[in-house]
Amino acid sequence: MHRFGVWAPKAQKMSLQWSDKVLPMEGPSKRGWWTLEVPEAECGDRYAFLLDDDPQPYPDPRSLRQQDGVHGLSELYDHSKFEWHDQLWRGAPKTGAVIYELHVGTFSKEGTFDGAIPHLQYLAELGITHVEVLPIAGWAGKQGWGYDSVALFATHEPYGGPDGFKRFVDACHANGLSVILDVVFNHFGPVGNYTTKFGNYLNDDRKTPWGPAVNLDGEGADEVRRFFVDSVLMWLKDYHCDGLRFDAVHAFIDLSSVHFLEQISTEVERLSSTLTREFFLIAESDLNDPRIIRSREANGYGMDAQWSDDFHHSLFSLLYTPEKGEAGYYADFGELADLKKSLQQSYVYDGNYSDFRKRKHGRPPSGLSAHHFIHFDQNHDQVGNRAKGERIEHLVGLDAAKVSAGLLLTAPYVPMLFQGEEWAASTPFLYFADHEDEELRKQVAEGRRQEFAAFGFGDDVPDPEDQATYEASKLNWDEVNEGKHAEMLNWVKSLIRLRRSHVCLNDGDLNHLRVSCDEDQRVLVYQREEARITANLGSKPYSFTLLEGERLTLVSREGLTVQNNSLDLPPMTFAVFMSSRQSFEDREVASRGKP
């Protein structure tokens, strides 16, 4: 027995195509739903919907499986049939997270869920607590980043289907890794979106960079919101994901009294209470608006954390100086004071004027813990949206990449690594896609060339539709233990181990952080109670004198030692000095009496 249902307020009549039959459906209800019970239907059956007199069968917008791709028939799938082994799993604490962003298609040679599983033990040994997976909801074509999803309840079949993803999640939990899934609710992909045949899923009166905005507050918005929220609950409940990352929430246009993000956080909290599991909700936003991560009780939207770009932009602008300059948002950054401010409060732009935007931007995130912000020095966007997909080490060398990782992993914020950065992977991460329509393939390739040229990269861009572009982006696991790759990996392991060994490095209270910088010498120092973190980004050595009770604990260049109670820190070098708690408190007491 299966009860078929579809929201289709636009239809005058609706039929179910199932097996070799076409069966009329009952409806519509007051809210526009059509339903039909089919006693003989069972798991594995294929079906589709027929609207009015249109002979074209359309897949179910809520299809759980699209084995023949997003244009094909939908398939009945039973979540209860999978045998899980994570009954005792409750998830890693989100305030102590070290996140690892990975793309299933390029993380392993196989490019599948099952192909990723053998590498999970490596991530656990590295010190990762949360794996953040780029979108896996179904899209047209074989390879892509996943941000063109159209089947939001189904997994991308070439990755291994729904059972494949469940095996991946189950294996993550067996290795002590929480799973955060990236979901895209701000738009549908350009190919294979049939939702608009059924109802008002989009609002043509409002535009986003990807076209019409999703309908969150217009006619029929209740059911559209229900569609997305039910997808959220499914990934958490039926796929055992530990959290979700919501792509570009600044593109949600919602003037209703209860914001869409607030509705999501409310319903996820109810599910969390029911399942007695903690979930991690992360929003990507460029608004610098703390309401997104404030609690609902404080009139916020209730997201647990947000991706924060300002740290990346301020750090990258200091490390990398291109010959011809790069346009875009980097124009707003470039001073050491920007990096200092991003460490002090995450937002560099908190109501001050932005040259890039030609207006004031942001507001202060006063009173919020650092654990509400995800910081990174690389991610899929910042690497993949470069013409050649270069990683930081490709652009600035190993020494600077080490400094970058040091600043990321010792700062108060939740750090996120991008796949392969921990060993300075030689492979790029390029933009790639696999559109079926030849004209669309040409448009995408030309669009990327124009976009990169406008950003200052020139027009020599790998064709995103070429299979070779995708293959070139796959990680080369054979190089992990070789030369500079092994050196970088050992450095990142040491940083994570240090973070795990000291409570002060996991403290999210920004009142316990003191940051200073020397703009001329390009030297940055921040004190996190017992830990003093130093970075010399300049061109000359900088001498650091050890404080009473302090010792050199970690330094990015081999062979550097303390002499005469001081350390000459060479250019582009990072070091950590540690004190005992007693020594730190004694110095604090002594300093209070000084002017």
Length of the chain: 595
User: Domains along the chain?
Assistant: 2-58 (2.60.40.10), 514-592 (2.60.40.1180)
Q: Which residues pair with 130 in a beta bridge?
A: 99, 178
Residue 593 has pLDDT above 70, yes or no: no
Pick from 11, 4, 3, 5: nearest CA to 198 = 11
Look at residue 328 in the predicted model and tell me its pLDDT.
76
Take residue 587 and report the two structure tokens written for it: 């110095």
Contact predicate 177/92, CB 8 Å? yes
Residue 117 CA to residue 327 CA, distance in Å, equals 39
Is residue 442 very low, low, confident or very high in pLDDT (cuts 50, 70, 90)? confident
pTM above 0.85, yes or no: yes
Catalytic residue status for 284: yes
Structure tokens at 535: 């970075």
pLDDT tens, residue by residue, 184-199? 999 999 999 999 999 9
Torsion angle in degrees (nearest 10) through CA of 230, 235, 241, 243:
-40
Q: Name the active-site residue from 75, 148, 284, 393.
A: 284
Question: Over the stretch 555-589, which tens digit does the pLDDT of each residue have?
Answer: 999 999 999 999 999 999 999 999 999 999 988 88
Residue 470 Cα distances to 105, 115, 306, angstroms:
9, 16, 29
Q: What pLDDT is attached to residue 456?
A: 63
pLDDT reading at 594 higher than 90? no
- pLDDT tens digit string along 512-551? 999 999 999 999 999 999 999 999 999 999 999 999 999 9
Selecting among 247, 262, 310, 434, the annotated active-site residue is 247
pLDDT at 447 > cutoff 90: no
H, E, C per residue of 317-347: HHHCCCCCCCCHHHHHCCCHHHHHHHHHHCC
* Angle at 575 (CA atoms; ends 573, 579), nearest 5 degrees: 165
Backbone angles phi, psi at 6, to 5 degrees: -150, 140
pLDDT at 110 over 80: yes
Q: How many helices (H) and strands (E) does the chain have?
A: 16, 27
Q: Map residue 482 onto helix, strand or coil.
A: coil
- Residue 424 has a pLDDT of 98
Q: In terms of Cα–Cα distance, which of 545, 540, 573 is closest to 559?
A: 573
What are the tens digits of pLDDT across the range 492-501?
Answer: 999 999 999 9
> Residue 324: which pLDDT band, with cuts at 50, 70 and 90?
low
Q: Is 219 left (phi over 0), alpha (psi -120 to 50) or beta?
A: beta
Determine contact, residues 165/239, Cβ cutoff 8 Å.
yes
Q: Report, as an integer, the average pLDDT of 464-470.
A: 94
CA distance 398 to 484: 8
How far apart CA 453 and CA 446 sit, in angstroms, is 11
